[in-house]
Amino acid sequence: VFANVVRAPEDPILGVTVAYNKDTSPIKLNLGVGAYRTEEGKPLILNVVRRAEQMLVNDQSRVKEYLPIIGLADFNKLSAKLIFGADSPAIQENRVTTVQGLSGTGSLRVGAEFLAKHYHQRTIYIPQPTWGNHPKIFTIAGLSVKTYRYYDPSTRGLHFQGLLEDLGSAPTGAIVLLHACAHNPTGVDPTLEQWEQIRKLMRSKGLLPFFDSAYQGFASGSLDADAQAVRIFVADGGECLAAQSYAKNMGLYGERVGALSIVCRTADVASKVESQLKLVIRPMYSNPPIHGASIVATILKDRDMFHEWTIELKAMADRIITMRQKLFDALSSRGTPGDWSHIIKQIGMFTFTGLNTEQVAFMTKEYHIYMTSDGRISMAGLSSKTVPHLADAIHAAVTR
């Protein structure tokens, strides 16, 4: 009965790892998926995460019962504080509802399903380009996806004018997906002044902000600085949605731990919204897993552990920044044609190199370097040892 099923293509990001795993070359390098690696090229479990896990194991009172539909209460509260700020009036006035989600993707999906059911505008504007999963998540939830200009290939920077024009001509009430920081894939963010202009424009048109916050603390090394864009919007008292992921900033990729917050105008509305979020979640996966959320809650609620986390987080962010400088220096010393200053200007996990599909294919074939076909490289996958190999490959690709 399934004979007519057509084979689907591999995922453009996760499929890169599939191809990488098949390669038997000893020099192969995976710069596809955004996953942090140490200087030795190994995945990293943060010390503070190990410590939290040990505490959880030792705690004899812990059980593995179902969590409530919306997840672990402590985790939800602490997650809202982390993104909106401990002194956020929206939290103090109980205008925020937060539900635990399956990392960033699951949280975005729950938000999208809620909007498709309960919000009057079904159109969502996403940046061009954006993370490859965004259009799929929103389309499958029943929203209609449109794009707004974001990146200007000629300057390798923000297309601010295009962004303002496109959002300015969006229909009243449309949803707008915004990357809270460290835009994926471009590594290009608006400045705080530009965020303020975006906020004014969006509020004047009644556009609904939906933030994807996958890199808080990873972009600048500061949790507060990386939440500024979200906080600017919440400070004006208007509505907003925010999806958080702990995949990158706590290295909890496979634990699938994240949160969706919806900021409302009143506490009464927030509690009604929460009741509807339960109806979205229950038939989808019933209730979320307990382990990852317990790790996060353990760390966020303990002052010492929180502090230890910020230090480890900053070390990861700093290592990525060092890799940017090393790659830039390596290309400069090779005299590679072109301006590569965007490598050090862009922020977050990724560099949007400007390399085209053919150049990427060449680097994979000849140098066993794996990256997404749009020319994005995960700087977090690079180490001092592998920088020369990557620089050789880029040099060969652009001088071919």
Closest contact distance (angstroms) between CB of 375 and ligand LMR is: 14
In the bound state with ligand LMR, the residue whose beta carbon lies nearer, of 190 and 348, is 348
Is residue 322 within 8 Å of residue 329, measured between CB atoms? no
Does position 288 bind ligand LMR by CB under 6 A? no
Helix (H, G, I), strand (E, B) or coil at 211: strand
- Partner residues linked to 214 by β-bridges: none
Does position 20 bind ligand LMR by CB under 6 A? no
Closest contact distance (angstroms) between CB of 306 and ligand LMR is: 24
Tokens of 340: 């590569």
In the bound state with ligand LMR, the residue whose beta carbon lies nearer, of 34 and 127, is 34
Distance CA 75, CA 301 (A): 9
Residue selected from 20, 34, 216, 233 as contacting ligand LMR according to rule CB under 6 A: 34
Task: Give the side-chain half-sphere CA count within 13 A for 105.
Answer: 13
Which of 131, 195, 309, 340 is catalytic? The answer is: 131
In the bound state with ligand LMR, the residue whose beta carbon lies nearer, of 184 and 244, is 184
Closest contact distance (angstroms) between CB of 242 and ligand LMR is: 17
Does position 13 bind ligand LMR by CB under 6 A? yes
Does position 215 bind ligand LMR by CB under 6 A? no
Q: Is there a catalytic annotation at residue 248? A: yes
Closest contact distance (angstroms) between CB of 173 and ligand LMR is: 29
Distance CA 209, CA 83 (A): 15
Cβ-based neighbours of 29, under 8 Å, separated by 6 or more: 367, 368, 369, 370, 381, 382, 386, 389, 390
- Looking only at the bridges linking them, the beta strands covering 376-378 and 350-352 are antiparallel
In the bound state with ligand LMR, the residue whose beta carbon lies nearer, of 194 and 373, is 373
- Looking only at the bridges linking them, the beta strands covering 123-128 and 175-179 are parallel
In the bound state with ligand LMR, the residue whose beta carbon lies nearer, of 52 and 252, is 252
Restricted to residues 166-185, the positions that interact with ligand LMR (CB under 6 A) are 184
In the bound state with ligand LMR, the residue whose beta carbon lies nearer, of 97 and 133, is 133
Restricted to residues 126-145, the positions that interact with ligand LMR (CB under 6 A) are 131, 133
CA 144 to chain centre: 21
Number of residues near ligand LMR (by CB under 6 A): 6
Helix (H, G, I), strand (E, B) or coil at 145: strand
Tokens of 70: 């919306």
Which of 166, 189, 212, 392 is catalytic? The answer is: 212
Q: Is there a catalytic annotation at residue 212? A: yes
Distance CA 225, CA 231 (A): 10
Residue 180 backbone dihedrals phi, psi, to 5 degrees: -60, -40
Helix (H, G, I), strand (E, B) or coil at 150: coil
Which of 166, 189, 195, 248 is catalytic? The answer is: 248
**From the CB of residue 162, how many other CB atoms can be counted at a distance below 10 Å?**
15
Restricted to residues 184-203, the positions that interact with ligand LMR (CB under 6 A) are 184
Task: Give the side-chain half-sphere CA count within 13 A for 46.
Answer: 27
Closest contact distance (angstroms) between CB of 213 and ligand LMR is: 12
The residue whose Cβ lies closest to ligand LMR is 34
Does position 33 bind ligand LMR by CB under 6 A? yes
Residues in touch with ligand LMR (CB under 6 A): 13, 33-34, 131, 133, 184
Q: Which residues are catalytic?
A: 131, 212, 248
